Chain A
Amino acid sequence: EIVLTQSPGTLSLSPGERATLSCRASQSVSSNYLAWYQQKPGQAPRLLIYGASSRATGIPDRFSGSGSGTDFTLTISRLEPEDFAVYYCQQYGSSPRTFGQGTKVEIK
């Protein structure tokens, strides 16, 4: 099983600032099949990034993903008020399709 470790656990930032979230895998993620999701309270997760760096349909270009192998990053270039949420990474290259424990981006 691939274990995904996200850091930091909580990120306190102001609107307009840049957010950098990390996801580290315990072993190499097959074909960079790594996704990022956003979840707001009381809502289902929303796919942001797949294949480590491809934006999902309708996702603003302030969201970008990078990385390969075992180290991946989600960057939000300038935080908008609606971006404060919990973010999860997930590998889907092998089963079990594991999730990281999440990073909460909160308003400073």
Chain B
Amino acid sequence: EVQLVESGGGLVKPGGSLRLSCAASGFTFTSYSMNWVRQAPGKGLEWVSSISSSSSYIYYADSVKGRLTISRDNAKNSLYLQMNSLRAEDTAVYYCAREKNWGGFDLWGRGTLVTVSS
């Protein structure tokens, strides 16, 4: 089955760290760029970061630059988001999403909730 499954979310204190994972299956992971998108409770979608298939190109939203780090392990078909110096405004459901070549985000995981609170 073609799917993405996120894990690693939870409750963390402000200033803390968390590492999210996204396991891909059912497709050739190495053929796709991947993204993280988040959604704060009751709010819209916010693109967070993207990484190309070979990790050559990496981009971040200004709101997370310097605190969140995207990476991937193609041997493990996995995408990661290392989250440091977390703030209350980082509270959101984090989705990983596959990027169809110049065709939008065509496959999404179910998301994992990150709550930053003391």
Contacts and interface: CB of A to CB of B under 8 A. Distances in A.
B111 A44 contact: yes
B103 to A, nearest CB: 4
Nearest to A90: B104
Interface in A58-108: 88, 90, 92, 95-102
A98 B46 CA distance: 7
If over half of B's interface residues share one DSSP class (helix, strand or loop), that class is named, otherwise mixed; here it is strand
A99 B46 CA distance: 7
Contact of A99 (B47, B102, B109): B47
Interface in A37-59: 37, 39, 44-47, 49-51, 54, 56-57
Interface of B: 35, 37, 44-47, 50, 59-62, 95, 99-100, 102-106, 108-111
Nearest to B4: A44
Nearest to B109: A44
A55 B32 CA distance: 20
Nearest to A34: B104
A10 interface: no
Interface of A: 1, 31, 33, 35, 37, 39, 44-47, 49-51, 54, 56-57, 88, 90, 92, 95-102
Given A51-B102, A96-B59, A96-B61, A44 B108 contact: yes
B103 A99 contact: no
A47 B106 contact: yes
A81 to B, nearest CB: 23
Contact of A92 (B62, B99, B109, B110): B99
Contact of B104 (A31, A44, A47, A96): A47
A33 B102 contact: yes
Contacts of A96: 47, 59-62
Given A33-B102, A44-B111, A99-B44, 5 more contacts: A33-B104, A35-B105, A96-B59, A96-B61, A102-B45
Contacts of B44: 88, 99-102
Given A44-B95, A44-B110, A44-B111, A50 B103 contact: yes
